[in-house]
């Protein structure tokens, strides 16, 4: 519970996964090792994207960083402290819809402050401000089912950011959205992040999105026993506009380079996912 | 179909049914009545019986008693169902231990309990309330149990990541989910509360709609039986309308409830 007044330079890493191995016990008592010896560090204020074929263990890795899953082996450190229980420094934007369907948009955003003791009026004022920031000021009274998929993601983003977490975990947050909305959301995310740099761990299956947004792109191999097989620094300058940045030459060079590694894994992952079903 | 057209067609059905009923019970066809009035009464008699009840005011006392019994049965049954549903859902061991007994109790046709309740609680309203409670309790219990168990894992994880402790998860996640399941069965549970009250009255009491019907039946007053049934139907429909209004207010956040509104 104690807020460690850590000297910022003594702890360069916000998140450190040290040889983290994650295994699931399957229904027939077999053990499925999803991720093996993942080693990954995210610095203060750094934006890291994780890319990998579906089912390779990206969500699993985020759950480990969030403290929702315990690794079978290896350690997780958050600001140099070993993680036990939930990661209280992190905000998590889930892949699936996670808004409370029985709360209006503004109530959904306000809840994070309310439960930590803020008065209702205070929490609501702050929530209204955040809704305006994500462009939904006029939608405060709507319930989640009355919002579009993109609007729901905006509310979810505000819900997480209002608590001002030091670490932001995002699991394919724009996955179900159409291409235009994704780019708009990407720019919105970059704007918010530039204003207040948090350590971001951003999972996506879209390599272009990863390069456009991140400082570093990390590639995972196809599962089982997925590993981290590549780590690229993105040399593109900030501030970025992700509509424009795709036209840069450096973008294409990097994309080609990473894709040459990723392609094999995607094919392997696809072959496995189809092979698995025929083997059963 | 437009609203007016629908309504007029619905009215037409009622008019034809009542017309046929009147015709077959009063006009001889081939020298005899197809529906002997002794067994089927006729709409005019039934209608005048209803009018007599309302104009003399005797019916109000019976309606009030049945309504009061239904309300009590619903309130007590719901409260018990919510408490036990929550408790069982959060304590899987308790649920596992009591599972066969819950199933046994729920499988029992409740009518057989009526004499026992009369024996225990007398001929007053409480034996009827008890019968209604045994019906309402299980509906609410199973729905609340389901509602707590079926909370989306992602929503729950989100609550945790937003910093909720167990108590806050209870209040902001489990409770609303359980309530929404309970409200989705509101029509059924309110209906059963009325059924419990009326059946209880029918089987032995001194007042209420069930008593009224039973009394009429005892003296072969078929018009009285039919009149009681019509009043009972109207009573149930009115209550059901009330439930719909409450439901729409409480479940605005649900997609289906909102669509019904349009
Ligand atoms: N609770 C679980 N039990 C068993 N296997 C699981 C469980 N959760 C995930 N997995 C498996 O672990 C692998 C990684 O899953 P996940 O992290 O969700 O992949 P993705 O990279 O698509 O997010 C998948 O093969 C999945 O089937
Ligand atoms: Mg995933």
Tell me the C-alpha distance between B253 and B262, whole Å.
14
**Nearest CA-CA distance, residue A142 and chain B, Å:** 8
| Residues shown for chain A | 280
Q: Do A92 and B157 touch (CB under 8 A)?
A: yes
- Which residues, in sequence order, are CB contacts of B220 under 8 Å at separation 6+? B38
Longest dimension (CA), chain B: 83
Tell me the C-alpha distance between B219 and A38, whole Å.
85
Q: Can you name the residues that pair with A75 across neighbouring β-strands? A: A18
Tell me the C-alpha distance between B201 and B68, whole Å.
13
Quick check: B197 pLDDT over 90? yes
**For B51-98, how does the pLDDT look when each residue is reduced to its tens digit (9 = 90+)?**
999 999 999 999 999 999 999 999 999 999 999 999 999 898 999 999
Res. B2 pLDDT band, cuts 50 70 90: confident
Query: Whole-angstrom distance between the N-terminal and C-terminal Cα of chain A?
Result: 47
Cβ–Cβ under 8 Å, residues A17 and A76: yes
Q: What is the CA radius of gyration of chain B?
A: 23
Which ligand 1 atom sits nearest the alpha carbon of residue A63?
Answer: 17
Residues of chain B in contact with residue A68, where contact means CB-CB under 8 angstroms, are: 157, 160-161
Strands A73-78 and A47-51, how do they pair? unpaired
Which of A94, A101, A102 has its CB closest to that of B157? A94
What are the φ and ψ backbone dihedral angles of A254, each rounded to 5 degrees? -65, -40
**For B146-165, how does the pLDDT look when each residue is reduced to its tens digit (9 = 90+)?**
989 889 999 999 999 999 99
Residues of chain B in contact with residue A86, where contact means CB-CB under 8 angstroms, are: 160-161
CA of B254 to the centre of ligand 2 (A): 27
Tell me the C-alpha distance between A202 and A93, whole Å.
9
The order of strands in the sheet holding A228-233 is: A90-93, A167-171, A199-204, A47-51, A216-220, A228-233
Quick check: B249 pLDDT over 90? no
Q: Do B161 and A66 touch (CB under 8 A)?
A: yes
Q: Do B154 and A145 touch (CB under 8 A)?
A: no
Residue B205 has a pLDDT of: 84
Tell me the C-alpha distance between A94 and A91, whole Å.
10
Take atom 17 of ligand 1 and give the residue whose Cα is closest.
A57
Mean pLDDT value of segment B248-259:
74
Q: Cβ of B130 under 8 Å from any chain A Cβ? A: no
Mean pLDDT value of segment B110-114:
88
Residue A278 has a pLDDT of: 42
Tell me the C-alpha distance between A213 and A245, whole Å.
10
* Residue among A92, A109, A115 with most chain B CBs within 10 A, to mutate: A115
Percent share of chain B, pLDDT over 90 = 66
| Residues shown for chain B | 262
Tell me the C-alpha distance between A263 and A132, whole Å.
40
Q: Do B254 and A145 touch (CB under 8 A)?
A: yes
Cβ–Cβ under 8 Å, residues B158 and A98: yes
Tell me the C-alpha distance between B37 and A255, whole Å.
90
Site to substitute for ligand 1 among A28, A29, A58, A60, most atoms within 8 A of C-beta: A60
CA of A34 to the centre of ligand 1 (A): 7
Mean pLDDT value of segment B195-206:
90
Quick check: B118 pLDDT over 70? yes
Residues of chain A in contact with residue B180, where contact means CB-CB under 8 angstroms, are: 102
Q: Do A97 and B253 touch (CB under 8 A)?
A: no
Domains in chain B (CATH in brackets) are 1-40 (no CATH), 41-260 (1.10.3720.10)
CA of A22 to the centre of ligand 2 (A): 14
* Angle at which helices B209-218 and B186-203 cross, to 10°: 40
Tell me the C-alpha distance between A196 and A163, whole Å.
13
Which of B161, B168, B252 has its CB closest to that of A92? B161
Percent share of chain B, pLDDT over 70 = 97
Q: What residue ranges line ligand 1, CB within 6 angstroms?
A: A 24, 26, 32, 34, 52, 54-60, 223
DSSP secondary structure letters along B212-261: HHHHHHHTT-HHHHHHHHHHHHHHHHHHHHHHHHHHHHHTTTSHHHHHHH
Question: For residue A273, which ligand has an atom nearest its CA?
Answer: 1
Tell me the C-alpha distance between A219 and A49, whole Å.
9
**Nearest CA-CA distance, residue B237 and chain A, Å:** 29
Residues of chain A in contact with residue B147, where contact means CB-CB under 8 angstroms, are: none
Predicted TM-score of the model (pTM): 0.82
**Cα angle, residue B54 at apex, residues B50 and B57 outer, rounded to 5°:** 140
Tell me the C-alpha distance between A148 and A191, whole Å.
22
Res. B257 pLDDT band, cuts 50 70 90: low
* Angle at which helices B58-90 and B222-250 cross, to 10°: 40
What SS3 string covers chain A?
CCCCCCCCCCCCEEEEEEEEEEEEECCCCCEEEEEEEEEEEEECCCEEEEECCCCCCHHHHHHHHHCCCCCCEEEEEECCEECCCCCCCEEEECCCCCCCCCCCHHHHHHHHHHCCCCCHHHHHHHHHHHHHHCCCHHHCCCCHHHCCHHHHHHHHHHHHHCCCCCEEEEECCCCCCCHHHHHHHHHHHHHHHHHCCCEEEEEECCHHHHHHHCCEEEEECCCCCECEEEEEECCCCCCCCCCCHHHCHHHHHHHHHHHHHHHHHHHHHHHHHHHHHHHC
Strands A199-204 and A167-171, how do they pair? parallel
Residues of chain B in contact with residue A109, where contact means CB-CB under 8 angstroms, are: none
CA of A203 to the centre of ligand 1 (A): 14
Which of B154, B168, B180 has its CB closest to that of A96? B154
| pLDDT tens by residue, chain A, 280 residues | 444 454 445 558 999 999 999 999 988 889 999 999 999 999 999 999 999 998 899 999 999 999 999 999 999 999 999 999 999 999 999 999 999 999 999 999 999 999 999 999 999 999 999 999 999 999 999 999 999 999 999 999 999 999 999 999 999 998 878 888 889 889 999 999 998 899 999 999 899 999 999 999 999 998 788 999 999 999 999 889 988 898 999 999 999 999 999 988 888 887 877 765 444 3
Q: Which residues of chain A have a Cβ shorter than 8 Å from any chain B Cβ? A: 66, 68, 86, 88, 90-92, 94, 96-104, 111-112, 115-116, 143-146, 159-160, 163
Cβ–Cβ under 8 Å, residues B85 and B140: yes
Residue B110 has a pLDDT of: 86
- Characterize A228-239 residue by residue with b for buried, 16 or more Cβ atoms within 10 angstroms of its Cβ, and e for exposed: bebebebeeeee
């Amino acid at each position: 519970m104690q807020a460690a007044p850590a000297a910022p330079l003594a702890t360069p890493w916000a998140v450190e996964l040290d040889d983290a191995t994650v295994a699931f016990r399957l229904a027939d008592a077999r053990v499925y090792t999803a991720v093996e010896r993942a080693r990954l560090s995210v610095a203060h204020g750094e934006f890291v994207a994780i890319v990998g074929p579906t089912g390779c263990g990206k969500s699993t890795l985020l759950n480990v960083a969030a403290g929702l899953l315990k690794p079978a082996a290896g350690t997780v450190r958050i600001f140099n402290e070993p993680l036990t229980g939930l990661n209280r420094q992190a905000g998590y934007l889930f892949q699936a819809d996670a808004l409370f369907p029985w709360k209006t948009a503004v109530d959904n955003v306000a809840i994070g402050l309310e439960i930590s003791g803020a008065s209702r009026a205070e929490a609501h004022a702050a929530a209204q401000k955040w809704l305006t920031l994500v462009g939904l000021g006029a939608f405060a009274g709507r319930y989640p089912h009355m919002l579009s998929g993109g609007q729901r993601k905006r509310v979810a983003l505000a819900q997480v950011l209002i608590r001002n977490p030091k670490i932001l975990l995002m699991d394919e947050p724009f996955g179900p959205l159409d291409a235009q909305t994704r780019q708009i959301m990407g720019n919105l995310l970059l704007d918010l992040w530039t204003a207040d740099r948090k350590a971001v761990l951003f999972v996506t299956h879209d390599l272009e999105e990863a390069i456009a947004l991140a400082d570093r792109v990390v590639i995972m191999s196809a599962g089982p026993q997925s590993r981290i097989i590549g780590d690229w620094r993105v040399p593109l300058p900030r501030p970025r506009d992700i509509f424009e940045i795709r036209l840069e030459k450096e973008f294409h060079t990097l994309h080609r380079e990473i894709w040459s590694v990723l392609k094999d894994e995607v094919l392997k992952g696809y072959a496995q996912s189809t092979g698995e079903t025929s083997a059963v | 179909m437009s609203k007016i057209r629908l309504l007029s067609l619905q009215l037409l059905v009622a008019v034809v049914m009542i017309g046929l009923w009147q015709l077959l019970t009063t006009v001889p066809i081939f020298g005899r009545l197809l529906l002997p009035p002794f067994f089927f009464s006729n709409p005019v008699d039934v209608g005048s019986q209803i009018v007599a009840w309302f104009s003399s005011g005797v019916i109000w006392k019976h309606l009030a008693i049945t309504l009061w019994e239904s309300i009590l049965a619903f309130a007590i049954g719901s409260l018990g169902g919510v408490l036990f549903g929550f408790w069982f859902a959060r304590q899987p061991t308790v649920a596992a231990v009591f599972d066969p007994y819950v199933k046994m109790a729920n499988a029992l046709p409740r009518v057989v309990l009526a004499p026992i309740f009369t024996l225990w609680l007398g001929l007053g309203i409480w034996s009827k309330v008890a019968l209604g409670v045994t019906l309402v309790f299980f509906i609410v219990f199973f729905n609340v149990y389901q509602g707590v168990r079926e909370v989306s894992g992602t929503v729950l994880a989100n609550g945790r990541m937003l910093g909720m402790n167990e108590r806050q998860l209870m209040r902001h996640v489990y409770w609303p989910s359980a309530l929404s399941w309970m409200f989705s069965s509101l029509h059924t549970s309110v209906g059963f509360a009325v059924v419990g009250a009326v059946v209880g009255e029918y089987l032995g009491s001194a007042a209420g709609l069930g008593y009224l019907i039973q009394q009429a039946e005892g003296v072969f007053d078929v018009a009285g039986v039919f009149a009681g049934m019509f009043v009972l139907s109207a009573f149930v429909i009115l209550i059901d309308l009330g439930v719909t209004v409450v439901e729409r207010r409480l479940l605005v956040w649900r997609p289906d409830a909102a669509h019904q509104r349009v």
